[in-house]
A and B are shown apart, each in its own frame.
Chain A
């Protein structure tokens, strides 16, 4: 901040007030969002007569944690310096951070000429994310909630069946290419593809019972190879990961 007009004390009190409010309410709303979002599936599992053993949930959780556990912790760490504390509570609840919220915050900061890391930039990011949230909620409600539900009811069942059967490979094909291109780690990519190919085409046909942990094996194998055979250049070039 280049300004010397506002008295430092007033400045500090107002921003301290902002920090206190956003921190307290950020935590309260995030805990509420967390509980509500888990309540839905837990109701399905235990409240609708589906006969699912709790152990099954732990196994599923362990399988997902083995794959994404590291990213759960690393992603908040990498976003914190860019978003600042207040926007953290917004970003990790609204989601789609890298493709939507970050650009929104950066454009707002540019448009009002706020220096990155300044208090003005912090406020601009929070306000911009509020604006982005409004647009996002409205477009989801209209296009997915209303239009999407209507689409599902009018498209022929045969087409719906095709989308249901093949949407998974299309999502994964595209997302894999996106991840490879944005990470810019060719060595890691080669190891990942090699390890995965061995797991899927060699190990699984031989030991089908490993299907449950195949992703975890591939993840662990890729991490170990990428780490032990890392090049010096990789470290300088590596970009923070984005999946949220």
Chain B
């Protein structure tokens, strides 16, 4: 049943075999390209920083310390992001997860964008309506969103560098309330949309939300900030564990 795509051009968009297209070699090449661009950028920036350092009384040792501090402090968050990414592999495939959740974007944005895009096609991620076409459009939606962030950065950074005060003098109340309302509104609508699907969806949602709440509470009470970093990963694993237990006998069939 896994024919090469070229052999089934007539009705390929009805196929729900996501992994057949999610692991397309071209996507792997693009992932390698993004990795490569970040490596090249880091090399250029390191060289530039080293050259400029003496002029601001920054020793070679300060550079080493900064690099090591950045690297060490990134270990925990990077592993936490990797855990979240692994949990999403089955839904989006490795190339999309690596380039979207791992790099450029974040789990919160990309999962939301994918869900919204699937919704705009009248489909839902993960179930029988999640066809190859839905995956392609969802992947496009995640990527174009990341592209818009980069576009905004490309346009705004030079303006802000020139000290254009106008941009930053937007009403502070609006700057605080509007984006937060957009974000919480979007996430709560997307979250509640999951609930009518089935009792197990409700269970997964509630367990995961409760675990995240507990993690954040403990992080604050005990002063353990790693709980904040790992909260999402832990919540997903326990939430999925609960779903697996609930499905139980059916899963064996």
Contacts and interface: CB of A to CB of B under 8 A. Distances in A.
Interface string A43-71: 11101111110001101110111011111
Contacts of B181: 185, 188, 191-192, 219, 222-223, 225-227
A15 B55 CA distance: 7
A138 B25 CA distance: 21
Given A10-B55, A189-B184, A175 B156 contact: no
A103 B73 contact: yes
A5 B79 CA distance: 42
Given A144-B94, A177-B212, 19 more contacts: A26-B41, A32-B37, A44-B26, A45-B140, A57-B140, A60-B137, A67-B116, A93-B37, A99-B228, A135-B72, A136-B78, A137-B39, A149-B89, A178-B108, A188-B180, A191-B181, A191-B185, A192-B189, A227-B174
A196 to B, nearest CB: 4
Given A25-B45, A134-B71, A36 B34 contact: yes
Given A25-B45, A127-B63, A173 B90 contact: no
Contacts of B211: 174
Interface in B149-187: 149-154, 156-158, 160-161, 167-168, 170, 172-187
A176 B45 contact: no
Given A22-B48, A148-B89, A180-B184, A96 B81 contact: yes
A128 B112 CA distance: 30
Nearest to A62: B120
B158 to A, nearest CB: 7
B170 to A, nearest CB: 8
Contacts of B34: 33, 36-37
Given A64-B141, A77-B156, A129-B70, A14 B119 contact: no
A56 B134 CA distance: 10
A200 B192 contact: yes
A165 to B, nearest CB: 5
A111 B66 contact: yes
B120 A100 contact: no
A44 B116 contact: no
Interface in B46-88: 46, 48-49, 51-58, 62-63, 65-75, 77-88
A188 B77 contact: no
Contacts of A144: 82, 85-86, 89, 94, 97-98, 102
Nearest to B132: A50
Interface in B207-244: 207-209, 211-213, 216, 228-229, 231-232, 235-236, 239-240, 243-244
A40 B27 contact: yes
Contacts of A39: 30
Interface in A165-220: 165-181, 183, 185, 188-189, 191-193, 195-197, 199-201, 211-212, 214-215, 217-220
A161 interface: yes
B242 to A, nearest CB: 9
Given A29-B37, A172-B190, A185-B177, A14 B54 contact: yes
B187 A37 contact: no
Contact of B168 (A22, A77, A169, A222): A77
Contacts of B45: 22, 25-26, 86, 90, 126-127, 129-130
Contacts of A189: 184
B236 A174 contact: yes
Interface string B1-25: 0000110010011000000010010
Given A30-B153, A105-B70, A100 B117 contact: no
B119 A104 contact: no
B217 to A, nearest CB: 9
Contacts of A145: 94, 98
